[in-house]
């Protein structure tokens, strides 16, 4: 991993169009500003990991439960 030291107000460029600025530090919290093109997804890593985990759990969906589920939807479906 590349490690750089920045002070408050200083920024980093990633490529030509992603800019990351250290806005504020307070104790162990750091506020970061990110400027990036709209097609770049920026999100907290925990969220990304949670979704990864949810996809894995979805893969383990209980097969017999799925049959029950199909039945429920069929019963509820309008004629």
Partner 1 sequence: MEIKTKAFDTVAIDPADIITFARGLIGFENKHKFVLLGDPEKTEALVWLQSIEDQNLALVAIQPRLFRTDYKPSVHLDELKDLEVEDEADLLVYAIITVPSQVAKMTANLKAPVVINVKNNKAKQVILNDDRYKIKEPVFTEN
Using CB under 8 A, list all residues that contact partner 1: 37-39, 41, 43, 47-48, 50-74, 77
Q: Considering the complex, state which of residue 1 and residue 58 has its C-beta at the smaller distance from partner 1.
A: 58
Provide the 10 A C-beta neighbour count for residue 53: 10
Q: How far is the CB of 63 from partner 1 (least distance, A)?
A: 8
Q: Considering the complex, state which of residue 7 and residue 38 has its C-beta at the smaller distance from partner 1.
A: 38
CA distance 77 to 79: 6
CA distance readout (Å), 9 to 26, 36, 44, 55:
14, 17, 21, 38
Q: Considering the complex, state which of residue 10 and residue 49 has its C-beta at the smaller distance from partner 1.
A: 49
């Amino acid at each position: 991993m590349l490690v750089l030291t920045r002070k408050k107000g200083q920024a980093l460029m990633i490529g030509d169009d992603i800019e990351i600025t250290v806005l504020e530090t307070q104790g162990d919290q750091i506020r970061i500003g990110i400027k990036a093109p709209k097609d770049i997804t920026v999100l907290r890593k925990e969220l990304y990991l949670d979704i990864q985990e949810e996809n894995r759990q979805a893969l383990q969906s209980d097969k017999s439960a799925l049959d029950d589920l199909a039945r429920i939807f069929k019963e509820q479906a309008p004629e």
